[in-house]
């Protein structure tokens, strides 16, 4: 598996990332298997969020690391903070809202460290743009966490280009990514300036739901993937290869609880789509040719 820096001053990540957002749906033994299969396939980067699995997924993952501490040296950990919702695990929260205060960012990062059973987070993201976000507070929290060595790099998720650039202006170190929804069916970031601004800053995006929530993997979509046999590839692999072709160097985040899907996805790194095949897939999804 290719490994690449997500930013010139950022971490070295596997080009395809394993997402742990649904791993509360399987046993801890299966989680360990998914981790090991990912590492064996060269997918060394794992994506989390404090809220995944009703605030349980980080701890489940951490339990595996506590039993197998040497695994931590072979991986990079990404997590997110800033979303709060009503939960028995968070009884003080009565309404879903965002919290990007200095105090909450620091508390959340330190709690993620404890849950994940690690002494460092490789990348911490603000999960959603907060309409009450105070960039001075975020910058202060990021700076403290970085100085203490608790978080090595920082980024955002689901930010617009202007929101990304605004926050960057308040930091003395770079935001190294913006994790956004990008797929064949959610290709707006290729045209609305989101990826343009990231390339301007030398930032590679992370793509959540890179398979369009699985919509393209079911039903009658053979017309989109008519060249799959030419590449000896599955529909899944073709969808990932389509993202990997983009010059912004997209890092797709695969969300699955099946080890065979991880192994299958990893092989997409070897597919280099012809430019015309790339545009043909886009045409089939849009239902029209380029203007």
- Is-contact 254 261, C-beta < 8 A? yes
R_g of the chain, CA atoms, integer Å: 19
**C-alpha 15: how far from chain center:** 11
Q: Which two tokens stand for residue 120?
A: 């460092």
> How far, in Å, CA of 98 to CA of 84, rounded?
6
52 belongs to the catalytic site: yes
Distant-in-sequence, close-in-space partners of 115: CB < 8 Å, separation ≥ 6:
50, 58, 59, 61, 62
Q: Which two tokens stand for residue 13?
A: 């990540």
Distant-in-sequence, close-in-space partners of 287: CB < 8 Å, separation ≥ 6:
none
Beta bridge partners, 203, equal: 7
Per annotation, catalytic residue among 52, 98, 170, 231: 52
Catalytic residues: 52
């Amino acid at each position: 598996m290719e490994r690449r820096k997500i930013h010139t001053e950022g971490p070295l990540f596997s080009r395809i990332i394993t997402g742990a957002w649904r791993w509360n749906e399987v046993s801890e033994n299966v989680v360990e298997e998914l981790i090991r299969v990912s590492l064996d396939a060269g997918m060394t980067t794992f994506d989390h969020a404090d809220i995944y699995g009703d605030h349980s997924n980080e701890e489940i993952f951490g339990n595996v690391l506590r039993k197998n501490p040497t695994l931590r040296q072979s991986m990079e950990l990404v997590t997110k903070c800033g979303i709060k919702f009503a939960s028995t695990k968070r009884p003080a929260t009565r309404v879903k809202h965002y919290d990007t205060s200095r105090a909450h960012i620091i508390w959340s990062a330190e709690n993620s460290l404890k849950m994940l059973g690690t002494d460092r987070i490789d990348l911490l993201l603000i999960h959603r743009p907060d309409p009450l976000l105070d960039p001075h507070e975020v910058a202060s929290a990021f700076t403290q966490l970085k100085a203490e060595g608790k978080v090595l790099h920082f980024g955002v998720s689901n930010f617009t280009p202007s929101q990304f650039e605004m926050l960057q202006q308040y930091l003395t170190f770079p935001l190294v990514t913006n994790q956004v929804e990008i797929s064949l069916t959610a290709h707006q970031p290729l045209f609305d300036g989101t990826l343009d601004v990231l390339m301007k800053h030398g930032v590679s995006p992370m793509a959540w739901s890179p398979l369009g929530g699985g919509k393209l993997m079911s039903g009658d979509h053979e017309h989109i993937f008519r060249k799959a046999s030419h590449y000896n590839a599955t529909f899944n692999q073709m969808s990932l290869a389509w993202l990997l072709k983009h010059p912004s160097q997209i890092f797709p985040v695969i969300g699955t609880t099946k080890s065979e899907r991880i192994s299958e996805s990893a092989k997409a790194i070897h597919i280099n789509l012809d430019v015309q095949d790339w545009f043909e897939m886009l045409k089939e999804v849009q239902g029209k040719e380029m203007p």
